[in-house]
Structure 1
C-alpha cells in the first residue's frame, strides 16, 4: 500500500504529479465510452458478490446503472448496491436521489443500507480497526469502505472513484447564471486566502511552502480534457487512494474496480471527447450515456458534503483532551493547533493529524478488540 509521508499528514494535503509517460498510440477499434464502462464492470459482475459503493451521487449512480444493465443482459447476478445513511449529517443526505435511482433501475431487492451515527468518526470504532491494522492511510475516510469490502468478500467492489477528477476536474466551465457567478466569486475569495489563514496550525515557513505548492498544482491542471485526464491519472492523491482501496479489498479476497479510472474507458473518453476544453461533468455524462439510461441516473443534483459524518463525538473528545504530544514540532505549531482544537468544528485540513495523534496515544495492543468486525445496522 502506498502511504502518506509525515509532511502529508501534518499539512493535510497530498501533492505531487508524476512525470508524463511516453504517449502510447490509441489502438484502433476503441469502443465508445459507455461500451468501455460496460467492459470494466463485467470484470466485477463475473465474480459475485459484486458490491457497488452507491451514494446516490452522479458517479456511483452511473456505475450502478451500467452494472445493472450488463448483468441482466449477460444473465449474471444483479450487483448489490450498498449505501451509507448517516444520522445528524443533513448535508450528507442523498436519500432522495438514492431512492429515485434504485427505483428507476428496479434493483431495490438487493439494495443494502448501512446506518451509522458516530461509527464512522475519524477515530470511531470502524476507523480504529483500520488505524490499528494499517496506521494512518490516505484518504482519511478510507474506513467508510471497510464494511463494504467485508460484504464483497470473495467477490468484487465497484466504486465511482475518479469521477471528480476525470469527469469534473478542478477548473469549472464559465458561469452561465447569476447564482453560479456569485458562487464562483465566493470560491475565488476563499482560495485567495494567505498561508496563515489556510494552514494556521503549521509553522509559518511550512505553511508558505505547502500553500505555494498547492496553488501551483491547482493552476497546473490542464483545460483540455485529454491532458486533464492524463494529468490527474499521474497525481499522488489518486494513486494512493486506489492503492489503499485495492489493499482493503485484497484482504477480503475481493478485487476493487474503479470503472471511471479503467484504461479502456479513459482511452475511449479521450478518443471521443479529448479535445473539449473546460468540459463539465453534466455535459460529459450526457454525451457518454446518450439517453440510454433512465433520466434519474444523470440528472444534475447537489453534491453532498461529508465533514459532519467524520467529525463526531469521538474526535471532539480526543481533540479536547489532547495534551500536545506526538506532533512534529518542526512542521506543526503545537500551541496554535491546541488553540484551534478548542473550537468546533475543527479545520478539515487537520483530519489526518487527528488520526495520527490519536493512534500515537492509543497504540494497538496484542489482543486489541478493534481487530474484530464492527457491527453496523444493515437494512435491505
Structure 2
C-alpha cells in the first residue's frame, strides 16, 4: 500500500509548494443529465461513510469541517444511522489555533455533545514530533507536511470511516481575490520580500515564475475553476495520501467537498458565477436547510504554532547542512532562514526531509522511499 501513495517531488519539497496539474488532465466538473442540488450531492457523498460506523469527522470548527459535520448529522438521522463522531484537536500554547467558541456553538446546534471527542496536543503534532515521526517512518514524505494531523483520528476510526473538509479551500474559495483598493495598491510600491530566500537564485526565479503562472491560470468562472482545482497536484496529493493511509488502517476516508458528485452539482447549478466568494457559495449550498451558525463568517485558525514546536526548533538549531537537494536549496541561505524563530512555514517539508535523511543514516535502519 505504501508504494502506491503519491508523493511530493524534490522540487515540491524545496519550493515548499506543490504546483502543476495531474498528467491525466483536468477532471470534468459537469456531467450529462440533470444535476441534483449541491446540498443533495453532499448528502449522497457522506452516506457511504455513515454506513460504515464509527464515522469520525475531523472537526475544527472552520467553515468546511462544520459544513461536512452538519450534513453528516442531517443524513444520519434521516437514514436511521449512528450519529457522526466529531473529533477535535485542542492545542496548548497555540492561541491563534483556537476556534473553541465556534466549535461549542456548532456542536450544541447539532446536538452532538454526547458524541464529541476532544484530543489534546502540546508538542505532539510538531512537524517532526512523535505523531509525525510515526507517519514519516512508515509512509515517507507526504503532502501536505501537516498530513500527520489526521493520523491519530485514522487510528481511532479503524474499521470505520473518516469524513474531512479537504477541498473546501480550493473548490469553495479558490485563489482569486477581489480587486485591491487604491490604498492597497499604493501600499505595494515597496519591493515585496523574497518568497523563497532559501533557494538558489535560479531555482528561486523558477519557483517565483511558476507560482505566478499558476495563480494567473486559475479561471474566474466557477465551473472552470472547480475543474481546474480538481486537476491540480496539490489537491490530488492531499486527498490520495490521506485515503491511502486510511485504507492501510481499514478506514474509508471521504472528502465530500472534493468529490466529483458535489463538484458536478455545484458547477451545473452555479458554474456561470464569476469569482464567487466562499460566503456566497455556502449560502447557495445550505439553501436555508442548515442552521445559520454553520455558514456564519468566522476567523480562520492559524496552525503554524501547532507544528513549529520544540522538536523542529531543536532540529533546525543542530542541522549540519545535509539531507536537502543542494542543486535547489542554498544551504547557507536555509541556515539563515532557520536561524530565526519561528521559521518560515514554506520550509516545513524541508524540515521533514532533513529528519528523514537523518533517520535513514542511522545504522541498521531500512532505507525509506525517497520522493520522486
- Relative to the length of structure 2, the TM-score reads 0.92
Contact 1:86 1:116 in 2 (8 A): yes
* Aligned counterpart for 2:359 among listed residues 358, 362, 372: 362
Aligned twin of 1:193: 192
Aligned twin of 1:202: 199
For the structure 1 residues 187 and 244, does the alpha-carbon distance in structure 2 shift closer, same or farther, using more than 3 Å as the test?
farther
Contact 1:153 1:252 in 2 (8 A): yes
For the structure 1 residues 277 and 8, does the alpha-carbon distance in structure 2 shift closer, same or farther, using more than 3 Å as the test?
same
Alignment of 1:64 onto 2:82: no
Aligned twin of 1:373: none
Alignment of 1:3 onto 2:2: no
Aligned residues: 360
Aligned twin of 1:268: 265
Mapped to 1, the partners of 2:99 and 2:189 lie a distance apart of: 28
Unmatched 5+ residue regions in structure 2?
367-372
Aligned twin of 1:160: 165
Unmatched 5+ residue regions in structure 1?
369-380
CA deviation string 1:205-233 (max 9, x = no partner): 00000110011001110010000000000
Any idea what SS the aligned residue of 1:157 has? strand
For the structure 1 residues 186 and 139, does the alpha-carbon distance in structure 2 shift closer, same or farther, using more than 3 Å as the test?
farther
Contact 2:50 2:81 in 1 (8 A): yes
Alignment of 1:225 onto 2:229: no
Contact 1:173 1:279 in 2 (8 A): no
* 1:1-380 equivalent positions in 2, closer than 5 A: 1-18=5-22, 20-21=25-26, 26-174=31-179, 193=192, 197-363=194-360
Any idea what SS the aligned residue of 1:108 has? coil
Mapped to 1, the partners of 2:312 and 2:197 lie a distance apart of: 19
For the structure 1 residues 18 and 252, does the alpha-carbon distance in structure 2 shift closer, same or farther, using more than 3 Å as the test?
closer
For the structure 1 residues 260 and 248, does the alpha-carbon distance in structure 2 shift closer, same or farther, using more than 3 Å as the test?
same
For the structure 1 residues 185 and 103, does the alpha-carbon distance in structure 2 shift closer, same or farther, using more than 3 Å as the test?
farther
Report the Cα offset of residue 21 of structure 1.
Answer: 4.8
User: Which stretches of structure 1, 4 residues or more, deviate above 3 A after TM superposition?
Assistant: 18-25, 184-190, 363-368
CA deviation string 1:218-250 (max 9, x = no partner): 111001000000000000000001111011110
